[in-house]
Amino acid sequence: MTEVAVVGFAQSPVRVRDDATTGGVEMLLPIFAEVYQATGLTRTDIGFWCSGSSDYLAGRAFSFVQAVDSIGCVPPIMESHVEMDGAWALYEAWVKIMSGEADIALAYGFGKSSGSQLRRVLALQLDPYLVAPLWPDSVSVAALQARLCIEAGLFSEKDMAEVAARSRASAAANPAAQVSGDVSIEELLSRPHMADPLRAHDCAPVGDGAAVVILASGERARELCERPAWITSFWHRIESGSLGARDLLRVGLGAPGGGPVDVAELHAPFTHQEILLRRDLGLGSEVEVNPSGGALCANPMFAAGLARVGCAAQAVMSGRAATALGHATSGPALQQNLVCVMEAR
């Protein structure tokens, strides 16, 4: 079996940016340069490119084509795109290397959420016949899930506030984070609800950003990186798009294969979703969860999931962890979930 490892990762600072277009070129050029410098690669060394973004978010068809300007048009490239978070682009890049069609692949994701009413745009992910015409916004849908969990006794609003406080404290060391800093649980709980039982701290901020991850096979990975993050497993689960046809109290991913992990980067745009993911993946208190601050502190649409995998890989490449898990989600109430487990060797 072909070995595949993450050898490079970079992400842009997540901000509300007036200077960035929905094409993402301004966000992508600096981080492409960063991973090139870190790995010693040039664009001509990349055998396959794959991007993740959304035409709905950009507001026009084939908007991802503009981002290719950040790659360059000469010489021609082998390129693909997914209308998903960049984590799914990473999966396609991994398959490309596993199939022997490329030795080095680059996946990137980008999104400018501040140019639209994000809560309303995300309603387009819902069942187009029965739910989407009602335009329930994404925060309200998440609030329904959180309320079900609280009524079932899975956790409390205080538990959710503890997730927010820990995430913001961890994000203080992450220059890409949009929200960070120490805050007391009591202060968080004193604030008003946005959509009961969710308060502002329970919801990811709206921001613009991009992320890029480079994969390499076998010996190429060892040449490019002193301590590659070797991918040991990838898995993906899709639940029904109908909210009433699935159990919103569970995710259904199961524990990661290959044993326990040291670090887990979970793509949880809402505090209660981190708790659900931890329960479902069997992550105990010994696992460091979201040391980057996670999506609660920086959630660029269509790049946040890829950034979670990249941050997990960075923990391995830097020597902070021997094993790490990166998770990405898409759709309402954790409808689609992807998990990537990596290790040092």
**Mean of the pLDDT values across residues 334-344?**
97
> Does pLDDT of 222 surpass 90?
yes
Q: Residue 157 — φ and ψ, nearest 5°?
A: -65, -30
Percent of the chain scored above 90 by pLDDT?
Answer: 83
pTM of the model: 0.96
User: What does residue 324 show for φ and ψ, rounded to 5 degrees?
Assistant: -150, 155
The pLDDT tens digits for 100-129 are 999 999 999 999 999 888 999 999 889 889
Structural tokens at position 46: 């990349």
> Can you give the pLDDT at residue 1?
63
* Adjacent-strand bridge partners of 323: 343
pLDDT at 18 over 90: no
Question: Mean pLDDT over all residues of the chain?
Answer: 94
Q: What are the beta bridge partners of residue 11?
A: 211
User: How much is the pLDDT for 88?
Assistant: 98
Mean pLDDT of 217-243: 94
- Percent residues over pLDDT 70 in the chain: 99
* 9, 82, 91, 122, 196 from 86: Cα distances, Å: 13, 8, 9, 17, 31
| pLDDT, mean of residues 49-76 | 88
pLDDT band for position 2 (cuts 50, 70, 90): confident
Contact 201, 305 (CB under 8 A): no
What mean pLDDT do residues 127-155 have? 95
